[in-house]
């Protein structure tokens, strides 16, 4: 069985409008959300063997803050193709993963991450459909999804072939990490 954890980068700052999108870093709320998600992943016992990541600054800073909460440094494989990638490009990167990796995390951007989860998740039962509905509503910054595949090789991961196990948003763990209310 192969397990995939998808992780959208945390909330980034827009305080420098002339900065290139690629170079935008996290804001304070984003750093807090990523660390919170790292602590939650540790509590769940989510262990990953490898991480594929967009090299954008906000993704790198998300993984650093997540590692602070998780309690373990990670060394991602940076892949320029993942920057603002489509679901199809993300899937191709996953299918190229080393088959010795049982649990893979992919850290990237929306809308690609959300579309990837919806592409890979099978029909499932009532609970899985409710989880899928949450993903369809919105895959917010710093959220994670976990999918399982009855496959021995990453190249066998295909649309509709996954079981959506969980979808966790930062606001599920700390309401202050949810959207601002006006």
**Helix residue ranges per DSSP H, 52-169:** 57-70, 87-95, 112-120, 126-137
Structure tokens, 71: 């309690």
- Section 82-97 average pLDDT: 98
Q: Percentage of the chain with pLDDT > 90?
A: 84
Question: What is the chain's alpha carbon radius of gyration, rounded to the nearest angstrom?
Answer: 15
**In this model, does residue 181 exceed pLDDT 80?**
no
The overall pTM is greater than 0.85:
yes
Q: 78, 88 in Cβ contact below 8 A?
A: no
Q: Specify the pLDDT at position 63.
A: 98
Q: What is the pLDDT of residues 113-132, one digit of tens each?
A: 999 999 999 877 777 778 88
Q: Specify the pLDDT at position 130.
A: 82
Closest CA to 114 of 89, 148, 137: 137
Q: Specify the pLDDT at position 155.
A: 98
What mean pLDDT is reported for the chain?
A: 93
Q: What is the pLDDT of residues 159-172, one digit of tens each?
A: 999 999 999 999 99
Closest CA to 168 of 64, 12, 39, 2: 39
Q: 104, 97 in Cβ contact below 8 A?
A: yes
Q: 37, 26 in Cβ contact below 8 A?
A: no
Q: Percentage of the chain with pLDDT > 70?
A: 97
Q: Specify the pLDDT at position 14.
A: 72
pLDDT confidence band for 74 (50 / 70 / 90): confident
Structure tokens, 106: 């992919």
**In this model, does residue 180 exceed pLDDT 80?**
no
Per-residue b or e along 63-82, where b marks 16 or more CB atoms closer than 10 Å to that residue's CB: bbbbbebbeeebebebbebb
pLDDT confidence band for 18 (50 / 70 / 90): low
Domains of the chain, start order: 2-177 (3.40.50.1240)
Q: What is the pLDDT of residues 21-61, one digit of tens each?
A: 899 999 999 999 999 999 999 999 999 999 999 999 999 99
Taking the C-alpha atoms of residue 19 and residue 17, their distance in angstroms, rounded to an integer, is 6
């Amino acid at each position: 069985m192969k397990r995939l954890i998808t992780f959208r980068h945390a909330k980034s700052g827009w305080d420098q409008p002339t900065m290139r999108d690629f170079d935008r870093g996290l804001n304070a709320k984003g750093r807090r959300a990523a660390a919170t998600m790292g602590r939650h992943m540790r509590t769940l016992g989510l262990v990953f063997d490898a991480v594929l990541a967009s090299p954008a600054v906000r993704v790198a800073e998300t993984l650093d803050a997540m590692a602070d909460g998780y309690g373990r440094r990670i060394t991602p494989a940076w892949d320029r193709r993942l920057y603002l990638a489509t679901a199809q490009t993300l899937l191709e990167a996953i299918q190229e993963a080393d088959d010795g990796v049982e649990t893979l995390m992919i850290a990237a951007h929306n809308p690609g991450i959300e579309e990837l989860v919806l592409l890979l998740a099978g029909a499932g039962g009532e609970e899985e459909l409710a989880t899928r509905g949450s993903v369809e509503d919105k895959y917010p910054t710093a959220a994670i999804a976990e999918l399982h595949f009855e496959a021995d090789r990453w190249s066998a991961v295909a649309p509709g072939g996954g079981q959506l196990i969980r979808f966790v948003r930062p606001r599920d763990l700390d309401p202050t990490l949810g959207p601002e209310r006006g």
